[in-house]
Amino acid sequence: MSTIEHTESCAIGKIPLGRRISEILDERGKAHNVPAFSKRVGISESTLYRILSGKRTIKPSELAIISKHLKISIERIKQEDTYPLLLELRNLVIEKKNMIRAKDIAQSLLSNAVGYTERFEILNYLGKIHYHLKHYMDSHKAWVEALPHAERIVDVFQDMEPLKKITGNLISSFTKIKDYSGMAVFLQKVHSSFHDSVYNLEHEFMGTLCLSYAITAYNLGDKMMVQQKLEKSLEYYIYTGDTVLIGKGQHNIAYHNFLEGKFHQSKSLFEKDLQTLDYLLEPKLIARKDYIKVLLKLNERALAFRLIEDSLVEVEKIQAPQLKAKLLLLRAVAKNDLKSAEGVLLVEDAGDEQIRLAFKFIMDYYSQINDDKALMKYYKIAGEYLNKSAIFDWEGFIR
């Protein structure tokens, strides 16, 4: 089956018919290889190969006899029986609505799935559903289960898209469950396969892969590897010619210097990055936020305070609630300003981490001034946020 060349790509619930049949045959094993199956269905081997590769349209009569010998209905082969549910599932996941209903649909579809593209598609959605529900271990398990299907799709159809999707998703889940050793092994494997691949992978994807490798190395304490991978990530981003991506790569190197306590080097690198991003408001504000942290470390407080105020004015021009919350937190910490921290709680969609940090600041503030009544008030309403662990230095690298 690995000799079949496919030229068609897949849309939601619309796996090309030839590819769909070839997957089912492949799953059935040697007894259903093309030479043997062609004899059973009375279709010549060369014609069957052309049908499976998408180079010849399958006739209704041919589909009927293939369906009979596979003992799978035509509706199941063509996914007509599940298409409405799959479409509903996709829309629920995209809109992040009614995840319980979405999970029920995904589990029902998975129990009837045939072929690795269909299984991959549903498992990928199931992982996203668990991720939205913040069931990160369950999302990780679903994506780990989807991985072999994505790898098989590459082997048989030379289609890299599912493997790229699942790689990004697994990077997210490895990070959420804090399995950095596991992620290091995974990244080493996929980076090697992508780097050596004959397929034309875009530089953005490879840059992001190197960035993930750098973040993993940071959490494992491999400082040299962090720098190497960040530089390689920037190199890939430069190849894209995309100013935002180049700025992201420069930002991450500058931020790593900040984390290593190399504040003067970090300042210089951030200033270069801010020049790159000068006409791009949101990326510029993100870079400026971390530049301000460097200025505070260097005790350049007047400039830092001015940039905080300027940034809080400019962030109102865009829809970036989490960035606004982070800037308010920065002002709260820099100026020991209670109102700024309380302001974070008023920002709609501020993000769990920003809310948690705001509560922590407020409670520390009241604890320091011995206001037990106010302290207990916020302790009661803080709830689940106080039980979450902080990510290092608020945000970390820019993905």
Confidence grade of residue 390 (pLDDT, cut at 50, 70, 90): very low
Confidence grade of residue 32 (pLDDT, cut at 50, 70, 90): confident
Q: What is the mean pLDDT of the chain?
A: 89
pTM: 0.77
Query: Tens digits of per-residue pLDDT, 166-217?
Result: 999 999 999 999 999 999 899 888 876 676 554 546 888 889 889 999 999 9
Q: Which fold has domain 17-75?
A: 434 Repressor (Amino-terminal Domain) (1.10.260)
- Whether residue 383 contacts residue 355, with contact meaning beta carbons closer than 8 Å, is answered with no
Does residue 24 surpass a pLDDT of 70? yes
- Please report the pLDDT score of residue 393 as a whole number: 43
Confidence grade of residue 398 (pLDDT, cut at 50, 70, 90): low
Confirm or reject CATH 3.10.450 for domain 82-177, answering yes or no: no
What are the angstrom distances between the C-alpha of 280 and each of 158, 240, 276, 285, 291?
A: 37, 17, 9, 9, 16
Q: What is the CA radius of gyration of the chain?
A: 26
- Please report the pLDDT score of residue 1 as a whole number: 38
Sorted by where each begins, the domain ranges of the chain are: 17-75, 82-177, 179-241
Give the integer Cα–Cα distance in Å for 273 and 237.
14
- Please report the pLDDT score of residue 396 as a whole number: 57
- Mean pLDDT across the stretch 258-280? 96
17-75 and 82-177 agree in CATH topology: no
Query: Tens digits of per-residue pLDDT, 203-233?
Result: 888 898 899 999 999 999 998 999 999 999 9
Does residue 5 surpass a pLDDT of 50? no
Confidence grade of residue 40 (pLDDT, cut at 50, 70, 90): very high
Confidence grade of residue 13 (pLDDT, cut at 50, 70, 90): low
* 34-41 and 45-52 helices, crossing angle to 10°: 110
Judged by average pLDDT, the poorest of 2-6, 41-45, 280-284 is 2-6
Give the integer Cα–Cα distance in Å for 399 and 383.
29
Determine how many CB atoms are found less than 10 A away from the CB of residue 59: 11
- Mean pLDDT across the stretch 371-380? 82
- Please report the pLDDT score of residue 275 as a whole number: 96
- Please report the pLDDT score of residue 391 as a whole number: 39
